[in-house]
Chain A
Amino acid sequence: MSALVIGGFRNGSLEPGVLEAISGAMLFDGEVRLFLYTKESVASIQERVKGLGLKAVSVLAVNGDFELAWDEVLGAIGEVLNDAVSAVVLPADAFSAALSPRLAFKLKVGIVSDCTGIVKEPGKIRMLKAVFGSKAVAVYEMNTKPVVLTLKKGAFEPCMEKESPGETIFTMFESQVAPAFKLVEVRREDAGEDKLEEARVVVSGGRGMGSAEGFSQLKELARALGASVGGSRAAVDAGWIGSSRQVGLTGKSVRAEIYIAVGISGASQHMAGLSSVKKIVAINSNPEAPIFEAASIGLVADYKQLLPLMIESIKKGAAEGLVV
């Protein structure tokens, strides 16, 4: 029995989520093999992964762009899969979202995307996953070998180096597939901005902000508090804030100590990005808004009156001790 992890290696390190995928793969009894796609040398990879206790590491040298190499990985999968593999585990990112369903379909096996847990019971393994915008948790059972799993970011602890990792067999091979897509240009929309995922206080706005002017008040409150600015999908779609600031199931997950949600109704899609937030403070004019079900502190008011007064008070020093 063995489990296979598929991940990328670039700029001298494993892509985010690969160490977590290795931890997930170790829950399946037996050895763990790693299949890395990269444009870098085997030597740098060996140095990075030799302590992880892996049985084997197969390295695929991709022809085209690293970011778009899912065709190449799929084309090479026959080199690393055999009958002993009971699970193929990947980090849940855009690369895996393009690759893993194709892989499962090609192999005619079951797949669970965005797993939040793997539960071992006698004779079977169950997978947990948030569904319906995190309103419910689904429990999956698989009856194929292998199964394909992608693991939700942050749901598993990263694999640590082992004291006696044993020997790892390294093999390298070239991709035989011509990539279907070519990267022409890359730019970061959020260059120079603070990292929303790492912020300790986040001030976030939703549809209830109503306008770009409303949203600029929110940004001013965030500045006064030394907080990061976020938004719901509705705010991003309205163009009030960039997509790099979208919080929720298909945006960022934040880990703030305080998350101040203004004019956000609390749709479960948005709340899914707040599972690691310590305390939610909700400001909404609708006392029935679902956000109050998840908030520790609530305030029913029109933000248009409230925010300028808050900003003024903070500037006068009312929030000393809170401001970063």
Chain B
Amino acid sequence: MKIAVCLKQILDPELPSRVFEVDEGTKRPRYGEHPLVINPFDENALEMALQLKESDASRELTALSMGGEAVEEVLRKALALMLDKAVLIKSGEVDLDSCQAAQLLGECLKQTGPYDLILFGRQAGDWERGQVGAMVAEHLNMPNINNVYKVEPGESGEATLWRDLDGEIQKIKGRLPMVVTATNSPSNVLRSPKVKNIMQAYSKDIMEVGADEPVPGLKRNGQAKIVDLYKPERKTVCEFVKGDSAQELADNLIKKLCEMEPVKII
């Protein structure tokens, strides 16, 4: 059984709003020296894949990541977590929309597959689109399902999936191959790699695809064109509660809460 995990490298979502800047020329964020991380929902997908490998070592895990040279770091981390293969899809510096990204990724999945299970995060914390997973499913003519936190492949190509829709837990059956997008749960928080494996990951191979030639048919340009990007205004001024002791702080805060308009909740 072959499992693919698609990992997107994004600007750290924990980056405070006050240091987030928009480049006025390109209408894109200014990346500068800000940290880049694996999209948090993709980490959940990665953990789900690792658990599948734990329950059956014959399952082969491949990590794929698309972008410029910086995404190598993402793949090194995947290798440090003992994934079997890593594929770097070179899309260059071109700003791909979801359709283009899905085509390029879909073609690379064909080239390195076929896979029984393709895992994504449910959406990425940069453009917040949540589109590429479902589009890849359409490109590969596979069924897709979202908000999944656990997958259990069963006998003869069946799989059981657990979905979480804001507290509604659904248990579902489907047939492989399929595209699954992951949501977060306490059961799929990504583990940390072992130090020894981090070192070894640097000597492992990363397969590079899509280096020179654009994918045939990758012509759907500018369908969802971003013409502006701006930071919303904030108007709040914080009033800090003071006090000389913890007791005084607690009492002053409660006093403040009671005075708050328009509250007066009776």
Contacts and interface: CB of A to CB of B under 8 A. Distances in A.
Contact of B238 (A106, A268, A293): A293
Contacts of B260: 257-258, 279, 297
A217 interface: no
Contacts of A226: 265
B145 to A, nearest CB: 6
A200 interface: yes
B17 A268 contact: yes
B265 A138 contact: no
A214 interface: no
A322 B144 CA distance: 48
A97 B134 contact: yes
Interface string A266-277: 111101000000
A257 B138 contact: no
A158 interface: no
A110 B186 contact: no
Interface in A136-185: 136-144, 180-185
Interface in B129-169: 129-135, 137-139, 143-147, 160-161, 164-169
Contact of A257 (B125, B223, B262): B262
Interface string B230-245: 1110101111110000
A257 B263 contact: yes
A181 B239 contact: no
A310 interface: yes
Nearest to B257: A322
Given A295-B238, A310-B253, A140 B246 contact: no
A113 to B, nearest CB: 5
A246 B29 CA distance: 27
A278 B20 contact: no
Contact of B186 (A94, A186, A238, A293): A238
B226 interface: yes
A144 B223 contact: yes
Nearest to B17: A135
Nearest to B250: A309
Contact of B169 (A188, A201, A271, A306): A188
B173 interface: yes
Contacts of B189: 237
A146 to B, nearest CB: 11
Interface stretch (A29-37, A45-53, A77-85, A313-321): A313-321
A105 B102 contact: yes
A301 to B, nearest CB: 6
B170 interface: yes
Interface stretch (B8-16, B60-68, B199-207): B8-16
Contact of B168 (A71, A189, A294): A189
A299 B132 contact: no
A305 B246 contact: yes
In the complex, which of the residues A182, A226, A282, A320 has the most CB atoms of chain B within 10 Å of its own CB atom?
A182
B265 A136 contact: no
Contacts of B95: none
Given A140-B226, A200-B265, A301-B246, A101 B132 contact: yes
B248 to A, nearest CB: 9
Interface stretch (B75-83, B111-119, B177-185): B177-185
A243 B173 CA distance: 22
A109 interface: yes
Nearest to B165: A94
B258 A278 contact: no
A142 B226 CA distance: 9
Contacts of A101: 98, 102, 129-135, 138
Interface in A104-135: 104-106, 108-114, 126, 129-135
A294 B167 contact: no
Given A101-B132, A322-B257, A290 B18 contact: yes
B98 A111 contact: yes
A98 interface: yes
Given A138-B127, A278-B262, A305-B246, A250 B183 contact: yes
A98 B144 CA distance: 7
A64 B97 CA distance: 33
B167 A141 contact: no
Interface of B: 11, 13-18, 20, 22, 29, 40-41, 97-99, 102, 122-123, 125-135, 137-139, 143-147, 160-161, 164-175, 178, 183-186, 189, 220, 222-232, 234, 236-241, 246-247, 249-251, 253-258, 260, 262-266
11 contacts: A101-B138, A106-B138, A110-B97, A113-B128, A131-B127, A236-B184, A250-B184, A258-B257, A310-B254, A321-B264, A321-B265
Given A138-B229, A181-B172, A309-B249, 16 more contacts: A101-B102, A110-B223, A140-B224, A180-B145, A182-B174, A184-B160, A250-B122, A250-B183, A280-B236, A297-B256, A298-B239, A309-B250, A310-B254, A318-B254, A321-B264, A321-B266
Interface of A: 67-68, 71, 94, 97-102, 104-106, 108-114, 126, 129-144, 180-190, 200-201, 226, 233, 236-239, 242-246, 249-252, 257-258, 265-269, 271, 278-283, 290, 292-301, 305-306, 309-310, 313-314, 318-324
Q: Which 4 A-B pairs have the closest CB atoms?
A: A244-B167, A180-B143, A110-B223, A101-B131
